[in-house]
Amino acid sequence: MRYALPKWMLRLNLAPAYGDPSRLEDATLTRYHDLMRASGVRAALLARMTQTVLEPPEPWLAKIAAPTLLLWGERDAMIPITNAQDYLSAVTNAELVSLPGLGHVPFEEAPAGRPSSRFFHADIGVAGSAGLANHLIVLATPAGFEPAYSP
């Protein structure tokens, strides 16, 4: 990977992120391939792969005070939905929305989809409006958690 990255190899690595690997389109594969070839990206990924001990996310998750929406693909092979319970236990005001048929990248598999959630109703605010300013949306990642939106 340091010097060469054939698209067929990249496809093999990306396919498990999809609940339905046939949804990995050629244009998306090309975008990933182009991004992987950007300056510094390969070195960063290779360095990340050498990390064998990950910190438990619970201490970090316990610090989250904002209402939190967890979007989790039911067919996520990278971080199974069974792990969602750990996040729900650690975050005080969290809601889980499971996404049937989707994997680790639901925003790529079903970009037009919008899950049913209290986060998208008038009492809290509509996504993209000022009402969402006090919310934190967390995406599960192999390293623990990644704030996708934070005020």
Look at residues 94, 102, 107 and name the one whose alpha carbon lies nearest to residue 138.
94
CA distance 11 to 16: 9
- Condensed to tens digits (0 to 9), the pLDDT of residues 15-41 reads 999 999 999 999 999 999 998 888 998
Whether residue 4 is predicted with pLDDT greater than 80 in this model: the reply is no
Q: Are 81 and 106 in contact (CB under 8 A)?
A: no
* Angstrom distances, CA of residue 68 to CA of 4, 72, 117, 120: 40, 13, 11, 12
pLDDT number for residue 12: 92
Backbone angles phi, psi at 4, to 5 degrees: -145, 145
Per-residue pLDDT of 53-67, as tens digits, reads 778 888 989 999 888
What pLDDT is stored for residue 107 in this prediction?
84
Residue for token pair 């904002």? 66
pLDDT of residue 133: 40
Q: How far apart are CA 135 and CA 112, in angstroms?
A: 21
What are 90-145's pLDDT values in tens digits? 998 898 988 899 999 988 888 776 666 666 554 444 444 444 344 444 554 444 44
